[in-house]
Amino acid sequence: MSVNKVVLVGRLGRDPETRYMSNNDPVCNFSVATDETWKDRNTGERQQRTEWHNIVLYRRLAEIAQQYLKKGSLVYLEGKIQSRKYTGKDGIERTAYDIIASELKMLGNKNDGGNYSGYTPFPEEASSNVPPAPPQEPNTPVNPDASGDNLSDSDIPF
């Protein structure tokens, strides 16, 4: 048995960028920063390290991220690590590691880097894990895997 699962809470380092695949499905990319702080044993001073993570969202999550997220937004992400090889400008082959997110939750409030104003969810969306953009197809669920049975109004981030 093996497990490839990532959970991140961090802030967007740049605005989301959305492109479209040949089948017209959206793909959204952005970076997320996570911080780690500790007290140095030798000096007693506080130390901090920031890690940057490349995030990739597909389809509906990509549309949601493009509409609601911006640089500085605080997000919770779940997904998996996926590596890809590429050749740099210097001709050297490198490996990049991306987080392919399957779940997105916006944290904080509209003054905290998010852009949540002016959105009212449809009744069937109120129990989903992420606040979606108004749907083009009214009966399409945002996260069909989420049962929503244990969510309350306080779990919705807007």
One digit per residue, the tens of pLDDT, for the chain of length 158 reads 999 999 999 999 999 999 999 999 999 999 999 999 999 888 889 999 999 999 999 999 999 999 999 999 999 999 999 999 999 999 999 999 999 999 999 997 665 554 443 333 333 333 334 444 433 333 333 443 444 444 444 544 44
Amino acid at 103: E
118 sits in which H/E element: none
**Rounded distance between C-alpha atoms, residue 133 and residue 66, angstroms:** 10
Residue 108's pLDDT is: 77
Residue 111's pLDDT is: 58
Residue 44's pLDDT is: 87
Residue-level length of the chain: 158
Spatial contact of 148 and 156, defined as CB atoms under 8 Å apart: no
To which CATH superfamily is domain 6-155 assigned? Nucleic acid-binding proteins (2.40.50.140)
**Rounded distance between C-alpha atoms, residue 52 and residue 116, angstroms:** 25
